[in-house]
Amino acid sequence: MAAYKGYEPVIGVEVHCELKTASKVFCSCSAAFGNAPNTACCPVCMGLPGALPQLNAEAVRLTIQAGLALHCDIRRTAWFDRKNYFYPDLPKGYQITQNDTPFCTGGYVTIYNKEEKRIHLQRIHLEEDAGKLLHRDGVTCMDYNRCGVGLIEIVTEPELSDPAEVKEYLTGLRQILLFAGVSDCRMNEGSMRCEVNLSVRPVGSTTRGVRCEIKNIGSIQFAAKAAEEEFHRQADILAAGGVIEQETRRFNENTGKTETMRKKESAVDYRYFTEPNIPPVHLSEAYIEKIQRQMPKSVAAWREELHNMYGLNAEDAALVMQTPNIVQFYTEAAAKTKYPKLAANLLIGEVIPQIKEGDPVPVQAGHLAEAADLLGDGEVNSTVAKQLVGRALRGESPAAVAKAEGLFRIRDEESLLPLVKDAIAADPRSVGDFLKGKTAAKKRLLGGVIRQSGGRADPAITEALLDRELALLSDED
Ligand code: ADP
Ligand code: MG
Ligand code: ZN
C-alpha cells in the first residue's frame, strides 16, 4: 500500500484494445495496421448519409472470448448506442458503442503485489475506434483508416491502491488478452491504450475523493509513473489545504508529469441514444458454450503446465510466457531435453532478446534442447553454451558446432595433467603460498589452468588433479 503525506491513492483503469479481426466492426474495410493513410475507408466508416452499418460477427465472438478469459458474466441480449461528439478524428460525428448493455460485466484479473489480489472489472463493451491525428510541422493530418476498427473497453472498479498495482494489472490483463487471441495488444502501435483514474484519501478512510482521469499514456511503465505522479500531485495539494478539481489530464512523457487537458466545466454531453441501424443482438447458450470450448489455452493453464511438467518457478514462467508463440516453442524444446530449466535460462537470456515482436522464434526447438543437454551434461561450460545458442540463431546445430570446433569441456586426465603441471611450473609463488598453508593460493593455480584451456578445463576434475600434484610436492618437502 502506497502512502504519502498521510494519503493513499484510489485507482481505476480503463483499457481500450483493438480486436484482432481482419475487417472493421461495422463494414468490410481492412482493420490492419500500417495501411497507407486513408486507403481503408468506405461510406460506412466515414458515416456518409444513407450508409448502413453491419455488425461483424467475429468482433462479437472476440469480445465474448475476452469476457470468458476474464471470468465475466456474458449478457444474452445487448444493443448498441450512439455517443455523439464533435472532433476531427470522428468524421461520423458519433461513435457506436454500448452504453447501457455491455456484452460482459463482472470478472477480474488476479495480480500479485506481495500477496494475491483480484482486481474486479465493471464491464467490457464493444465499440468502434476513431481515426488518428498526426500533428507535424504545424499542421494536423487526419488518417481515417482506424475509424470503425473494433475496440473493446475494459473498465475496472476503483480497487487499485498502489501505482505498482497499475503495472501488475496492465501486465496481467495484456497477457490474458494476448493468450486469448483477442488483440495483439501493442501499446506502441496503439492497439492497446489505457487511461488511469485516480483520487486520493486519508490513509484508512473509506470515502472517495474527487478523481482525475489521465490520458495519453504510451506504455505500461508510463501508466505506473503517471499514477505515481498524479498521486503525489493530489496529495501535495490536499496537504497544503487545497482542493482537487475534477479534470482530464494528460501524461507528458518528456517531463514525466501530468498536465491539464480539460476541466469538468467543459465536459461534453454525449447525448446517448440507441443506435437505430443495428438490431439488438441475442446470444444463445450454445453459442457461448461453443466459444468456451474453443478457447485457446489460458495463461493459468500454461503457468501450471510449466510448473508441473518442467519445474519452472513463477518468475521463469512469466519470462517464458511473454507471448503464446514463445511458450509454445519453449514446451517443444523442454520436451526434448533432460534439462528444461537450463533450456528456459538459455531461451530467456539468449533468444528472447533477439525476437522481434510478433515474429516466430528464430531458433529450432531441437537446437535449443541440444544446447541445454550439452550444458546440463557438463559437456560444455555456460559461456560456450550461450555461444552455441548464438550459432543456433543462425541455423546451426549446437552439437555439430561444438564437435567441429572442439568446444567440449576437457575432462580426461591425459589432456588436463600437462596443463596442471604447466600451471604449477609457471607460478612458483602461488605454489609456495599454498605450501605455507595459504589455501586460497590454489584458486589462483586453478584459474591459471582454466585460462590456459580457453575456459574449457572441467573445474572439478582439474581441482582434483591439482590437489594430487600439490600433495606430491608437499610430500617432497
Ligand atoms: P466515466 O463514465 O466518466 O468514464 P466511470 O464511472 O465509468 O466514469 O469510471 C471510470 C473509471 O474511473 C473506472 O475505472 C472507475 O473505477 C474509476 N473511478 C470512479 N470513481 C473513482 C474515484 N473516486 N477514484 C478513482 N477512480 C475512480
Ligand atoms: Mg469511462
Ligand atoms: Zn469502411
Assigned domain for 39 exists: yes
Q: Is the pLDDT of residue 125 over 80?
A: yes
C-alpha distances (whole Å) from 163 to each of 201, 221, 354 are: 15, 10, 30
Q: Tell me the pLDDT tens digit for each residue of 421-445.
A: 999 999 999 999 999 988 889 999 9
Domain end position, chosen among 241, 265, 286: 286
Q: How many Å apart are CA 71 and CA 104, to the nearest integer?
A: 9
| Residue 366 pLDDT | 97
Assigned domain for 163 exists: yes
256 and 219 both lie in a single domain:
yes
358 and 463 both lie in a single domain:
no
Which ligand has the shortest distance to the CA of 213?
1
Q: Is the pLDDT of residue 83 over 80?
A: yes
305 and 275 both lie in a single domain:
no
Q: Tell me the pLDDT tens digit for each residue of 266-325.
A: 677 999 999 999 999 999 999 999 999 999 999 999 999 999 999 999 899 999 999 999
Measured by CA distance, the residue closest to atom 17 of ligand 1 is 12
310 and 273 both lie in a single domain:
no
Write the CB contacts of 161 (distance below 8 Å, at least 6 apart in sequence).
1, 2, 8, 9, 10, 11
Q: How many Å apart are CA 345 and CA 352, to the nearest integer?
A: 10
Domain end position, chosen among 374, 404, 434: 404
Q: Tell me the pLDDT tens digit for each residue of 149-190.
A: 999 999 999 999 999 999 999 999 999 999 999 999 999 889
For residue 117, give its domain range.
Answer: 7-286
- Give how many domains the chain has, as a whole number: 3
83 and 37 both lie in a single domain:
yes
Pair 3, 157: CB distance under 8 Å: no
357 and 281 both lie in a single domain:
no
Assigned domain for 2 exists: no
Assigned domain for 236 exists: yes
81 and 111 both lie in a single domain:
yes
Q: How many Å apart are CA 457 and CA 381, to the nearest integer?
A: 9
Testing ligand 1's pocket by substitution, the residue of 98, 154, 197 carrying the most ligand atoms inside 8 A of its CB is: 197
Assigned domain for 292 exists: no
Task: Check pocket membership of 157 for ligand 1, CB cut-off 6 A.
Answer: yes
CA dihedral 233, 236, 241, 243 (to 10 degrees): 10
Task: Check pocket membership of 234 for ligand 1, CB cut-off 6 A.
Answer: no
399 and 419 both lie in a single domain:
no
- Give the Å distance between the CA of 237 and the centre of ligand 2: 25
278 and 223 both lie in a single domain:
yes
Query: What is the pLDDT confidence band of residue 263, given thresholds at 50, 70 and 90?
Result: confident
Which ligand has the shortest distance to the CA of 122?
1
259 and 386 both lie in a single domain:
no
Assigned domain for 225 exists: yes
Domain end position, chosen among 352, 381, 404: 404
Q: What's the whole-number mean pLDDT along residues 142-147?
A: 97
Assigned domain for 1 exists: no
pTM for the structure as a whole:
0.88
62 and 154 both lie in a single domain:
yes
Q: Is the pLDDT of residue 264 over 80?
A: no
**Mean model confidence pLDDT for the chain:** 95
Task: Check pocket membership of 208 for ligand 1, CB cut-off 6 A.
Answer: yes
Q: What's the whole-number mean pLDDT along residues 57-84?
A: 98
Assigned domain for 340 exists: yes
347 and 255 both lie in a single domain:
no
CA dihedral 41, 42, 48, 50 (to 10 degrees): -160
